[in-house]
Every structure is written in structure tokens, then in C-alpha cells.
Amino acid sequence: MSSGNLVEDFARIVSYCKTSKRRSQIMTEMSMSDIETEAFTRILIRQSLLEQNFNGYQTTKRGNSYLDTRSRIEVAMRRRF
């Protein structure tokens, strides 16, 4: 799964989990092993970008804000270059 860019990988997971996803769904969508999925989701939960609920993992308000900011930066960078 790893694109070699952790920031990009984290953003993909946060974006994918805008609606609640089970760990197996994240593993399949991101082509990750169980160990990778566990590590990535733990980091994202610690950073308050994801939360774990009874349905699985879901993006938090902070996670949505992160994605919005990231999108604005990408647009600004494309305009500049």
C-alpha cells in the first residue's frame, strides 16, 4: 500500500473513512496487511484524525479539517506552478 509517502498514505485512509469503515475494508481498499492497518489506524486515532466506533473507523472533525486544508494547499500549489 505504501506509496513511499506516509502523509499521502495517511490522507488516503482519512479520506476513505469519511463514512465508517471496518478494518477489513480499509485493508482491502488500501492493500495493507493487518499489521500495517493496525499501525496506521492507531497513529491516526492518536492524532485525532480518526475515531473508532461500534461500526469501525470514521474520520473526525479534525480529520475533515485536515483534508480540507490539504486540498486548499494542493490547489494553491497547482496555481503557483
Range of weakest confidence among 10-14, 24-28, 42-46, 74-78: 74-78
Q: Tell me the pTM.
A: 0.89
For residue 48, give the CATH number of its domain: 1.10.10.10
Q: Is residue 1, in this structure, part of any structural domain at all?
A: no
Give the pLDDT confidence score for residue 32 in this predicted structure: 95
Give the pLDDT confidence score for residue 1 in this predicted structure: 59
In sequence order, which residues have a C-beta less than 8 Å from that of residue 29 and are 6 or more positions away?
16, 21
% of the chain with per-residue pLDDT over 70:
95
37: domain range? 6-80
Mean pLDDT along residues 2-11: 84
Instruction: Say how far apart CA 55 and CA 36 lie, in whole Å.
Output: 20
What is the β-pairing status of strands 56-59 and 50-53? antiparallel
pLDDT tier for residue 4 given thresholds of 50, 70 and 90: confident
Q: Is residue 48, in this structure, part of any structural domain at all?
A: yes
Q: Is residue 52, in this structure, part of any structural domain at all?
A: yes
Pull the grid cell for residue 1. 500500500
